[in-house]
Structure 1
Amino acid sequence: MIPAYLYKYIYLLLVTVLTLTVVKYRRSLKVTESIIGSALLCLFMVLFIGFRPVSIYFVDMINYANWWGGGTWWGFDWEAENLLFDNLFQYMGSIFPDGTVFFVLMAAIYFTGMLVVCRKLFPANTLIVFLVCLAAFSTFSYGTNGIKAGAAASLFLAALAYRDKMWLSIIFLLLSWGFHHSMQVSVAAYALTLVFKNEKWYFYGWLFCLLMAVAHISFFQELFAGMTDESGAGYLNWDTNDDWGGKRGFRLDFVIYSAMPVVMGYYVKFRYQMKDRLYDIMLKLYLTCNGIWMLCMYAQFTNRIAYLSWFMYPILLVYPCYAIANENHPLVLVRQKVVLLHLAFTLFMVLIYYA
């Protein structure tokens, strides 16, 4: 069995080697590429992550393992905090002796959801975009630690990808919300993008939120804490858990990371005048959710609030580079640089900054 502390490094090594290989040898396609390579990589990730050992290295995983089989299944609990996830966990805990099957299932939802989105949006570039998603700074963490939020995020992305089939999009939205109640923020932001469409004001709003964070204005954080339930308030309150293990204060590293899709979006919309309905929705959704995080930056679980926007990060970052058909377009010409810089940032953060 592979030691738990090596999992992250093996994962990054594999993603790095595959990304460099695909970037070097793959040529642009104008037709749908074979799904076989992407599907095999997805299957490997499901098995590799799903069958990981129960260890404190994966943080919340050990809590799920300790809670496993803690009760009898008495039927669907309509009062559960996370309607689908909590009932699924309780049901599987009543029929399986340990959590292995559950962890494999969660990995399958997480990685398969990503692959479905990449295939739907980028049929000619599925593999490289899937690798970009795997290389994202938060992907490994939410595949092994925050599995509940990770699965919910993949389902939400599927809802965006299938917005052309409203009935299916709504199903994915409801599934996402059912897996993690925090997705109500993303669902509400999604509804806002469908009603209020002035893109410039979303950028203005994001800058306003950044200024509030710089000035350490806590009004909005306290306001949101008062509006949410007890669990949500626990995320927003900085006094409930002094041993949670993360950093506090103004997170310049998080701001720099979060700003990349914003800068890209500004140039895409106002310099290159790209017109794409789905990209517009994703960009406005990202600006809204990331702005909410900045208003709550001083909360103790700031990284989990940031993930409400970060799960869109890799798709939003590369979408302009792969959605444009003109191979001579400036955004298309820099696609490989964007992919490699994104990967380099993750490697820097994991191997140097947090080391």
Structure 2
Amino acid sequence: MFDWIPVEFYIAIQYNILLLVLLIIIANSWVYDVRDQQSLQFFQILGVSLTVFMILYMGQRQINYRFGDTVNYNKAYKIMLSGESFKIEKDYLFNYMMLYCSKIMSIHGFLQLCSVLYMVPCYLFSKKYFGNYWFFAMFMFMVSFSFWAYGVNGVRNGLGTSMFLLALVFYQRKWLMYALFGVSYFMHASLVIPIAAFIVSGLYKNPKAYLVIWLLAIPLSLAGGSAWSTFFANLGFAEDRTQGYLTGGSEEYNNQFSQTGFRWDFLLYSASAVVAGWYFIFKKNITDKFYVHLFGTYCIANAFWILVITAAFSNRFAYLSWFLMPAVIAYPMFRYKIWDNQYKIFGVIIFLYFMFTYFMNVIL
């Protein structure tokens, strides 16, 4: 569908379209109140249009190395199409889904299906918890730093996180929520980290403890360095690929792009959600049960990433908390009256949030 777009400009185009939408949001926030019915109707139409566009734009991408692991999924798909033996030993749900799809659709159909499964849970989560203001949450998901990357590169990981969000839609129906957590785990085994964080933060409902855990992770990571990566790699929960991400010990993983060292820029990015949660819970006294649970899950999962931040592929673990950032930052602003001119302040916040993404993906 989008083959006519030069592949070298493909990613930048979607970020510039999102930048244009951001400017519309900011302009609207300085003229209208967030409760203005005309504005809400406009953003309903814009939201549906942008969501459909992003699903198609992501799903109909070309098979090209610029989209990371897309080329590897294509190779695996060709093996399945040929009828050759394909041994499945991990991420069973994703791999069996790929195997089944290879019998009835092309690789482009499969990638489009993955795009739908990636985006729709974000939409359902936004509709569930933001109501008429769902577009603003959905837009924050779209402009998150790694959102595009985990829709076209780390697809299994991205689908796992989306299934986790879908599980949270059924927060009041525990059996269904935990069943969907199981789905997310079998999409990508690394989801054991946010699932464990969710369980721990649900058993011990003390946001101060989550904050302390997150803060302590920084000096512990600086002091321990790569020892933490080795420690977690040797634990029983880490399957082969996860061990490879932690240790970078095989050529299979060394062929993938990552940056090593203590990433202060990424730490500051992560801290924005922690600061937001601290402000809303401790300064504005937001005691919403779901929000406190969400904040605890984010802090624990992000603390794990901080401990292994120097690992060769720690970016794979960063997204296991980063996918929750839009909810942690935006949830209170569209559920509670916190400031005068709240819509304008949100416009500023989302501008700063997106600018990090734009700078890292387009300018650099």
| Fold match by TM threshold 0.5 | yes
For 2:137, the equivalent position in structure 1 comes to 129
- In the alignment, the residues of structure 1 paired with residue 198 and residue 82 of structure 2 have an alpha-carbon distance, to the nearest angstrom, of 35
* Pick aligned residue for 2:288 from 249, 257, 276: 276
* Pick aligned residue for 2:358 from 338, 347, 353: 347
Counterpart residue type for residue 230 of structure 2: E
| 2:98 is the counterpart of 1:99 | no
Q: TM-score, normalised by structure 2?
A: 0.89
| Cα separation, partners in 2 of 1:103 and 1:269, compared to 1, 3 Å | same
* Pick aligned residue for 2:307 from 286, 291, 295: 295
Shift of 1:219: 3.4
| 2:94 is the counterpart of 1:85 | yes
3-state SS, counterpart of residue 123 of structure 1: helix
Shift of 1:95: 3.2
For 2:326, the equivalent position in structure 1 comes to 314
Are the equivalent residues in 2 in contact too, given 1:113–1:158 (CA < 8 A)? yes
Are the equivalent residues in 1 in contact too, given 2:184–2:191 (CA < 8 A)? yes
Are the equivalent residues in 1 in contact too, given 2:280–2:332 (CA < 8 A)? yes
Shift of 1:55: 0.3
- In the alignment, the residues of structure 2 paired with residue 78 and residue 59 of structure 1 have an alpha-carbon distance, to the nearest angstrom, of 23
Counterpart residue type for residue 42 of structure 1: T
Are the equivalent residues in 2 in contact too, given 1:152–1:177 (CA < 8 A)? yes
For 1:149, the equivalent position in structure 2 comes to 157
Counterpart residue type for residue 77 of structure 2: W
Q: Which moved more, 1:341-350 or 1:279-288?
A: 341-350
3-state SS, counterpart of residue 189 of structure 2: coil
For 2:188, the equivalent position in structure 1 comes to 180
For 1:162, the equivalent position in structure 2 comes to 170
* Pick aligned residue for 1:48 from 57, 65, 75: 57
Shift of 1:316: 1.2
Are the equivalent residues in 2 in contact too, given 1:322–1:335 (CA < 8 A)? no
Counterpart residue type for residue 6 of structure 1: F
Shift of 1:19: 2.1
For 1:235, the equivalent position in structure 2 comes to 245
| Cα separation, partners in 2 of 1:71 and 1:134, compared to 1, 3 Å | closer
Shift of 1:284: 0.5
1:309-345 alpha-carbon deviations (Å, 9 max, x no partner): 0111122111121121x27458666212111111122
For 1:200, the equivalent position in structure 2 comes to 208
Query: What percentage of residue pairs aligned between the two structures are identical?
Result: 27
- In the alignment, the residues of structure 1 paired with residue 218 and residue 343 of structure 2 have an alpha-carbon distance, to the nearest angstrom, of 30
For 1:335, the equivalent position in structure 2 comes to 346
Q: Which moved more, 1:125-134 or 1:168-177?
A: 168-177
3-state SS, counterpart of residue 5 of structure 2: coil
- In the alignment, the residues of structure 2 paired with residue 70 and residue 239 of structure 1 have an alpha-carbon distance, to the nearest angstrom, of 26
- In the alignment, the residues of structure 2 paired with residue 287 and residue 73 of structure 1 have an alpha-carbon distance, to the nearest angstrom, of 45
- In the alignment, the residues of structure 1 paired with residue 62 and residue 82 of structure 2 have an alpha-carbon distance, to the nearest angstrom, of 26
Counterpart residue type for residue 20 of structure 1: L
List aligned pairs for 1:5-44, cutoff 5 A: 5-25=8-28, 27-29=33-35, 35-44=44-53
Are the equivalent residues in 2 in contact too, given 1:327–1:333 (CA < 8 A)? no
Are the equivalent residues in 1 in contact too, given 2:198–2:293 (CA < 8 A)? yes
Give the gaps of 5 or more residues in structure 1.
none
| Cα separation, partners in 2 of 1:52 and 1:78, compared to 1, 3 Å | closer
- In the alignment, the residues of structure 2 paired with residue 125 and residue 330 of structure 1 have an alpha-carbon distance, to the nearest angstrom, of 16
Shift of 1:256: 1.0
Counterpart residue type for residue 25 of structure 2: V
Counterpart residue type for residue 147 of structure 2: T
Shift of 1:72: 7.0
| Cα separation, partners in 2 of 1:283 and 1:295, compared to 1, 3 Å | same
For 2:271, the equivalent position in structure 1 comes to 259
3-state SS, counterpart of residue 2 of structure 1: coil
Coordinate RMSD, CA, aligned: 2.3
For 1:285, the equivalent position in structure 2 comes to 297
Are the equivalent residues in 1 in contact too, given 2:226–2:311 (CA < 8 A)? no
Are the equivalent residues in 2 in contact too, given 1:159–1:172 (CA < 8 A)? yes
Shift of 1:257: 0.8
Shift of 1:161: 2.9
- In the alignment, the residues of structure 2 paired with residue 329 and residue 190 of structure 1 have an alpha-carbon distance, to the nearest angstrom, of 33
Shift of 1:118: 0.8
- In the alignment, the residues of structure 2 paired with residue 116 and residue 201 of structure 1 have an alpha-carbon distance, to the nearest angstrom, of 30
Shift of 1:36: 4.4
3-state SS, counterpart of residue 248 of structure 1: coil
Are the equivalent residues in 2 in contact too, given 1:206–1:290 (CA < 8 A)? yes
1:238-262 alpha-carbon deviations (Å, 9 max, x no partner): 3324443321111111111111111
- In the alignment, the residues of structure 2 paired with residue 139 and residue 328 of structure 1 have an alpha-carbon distance, to the nearest angstrom, of 29
- In the alignment, the residues of structure 1 paired with residue 248 and residue 306 of structure 2 have an alpha-carbon distance, to the nearest angstrom, of 15
Counterpart residue type for residue 238 of structure 1: G
- In the alignment, the residues of structure 2 paired with residue 330 and residue 196 of structure 1 have an alpha-carbon distance, to the nearest angstrom, of 35
For 2:77, the equivalent position in structure 1 comes to 68
3-state SS, counterpart of residue 115 of structure 1: helix
| 2:230 is the counterpart of 1:222 | yes
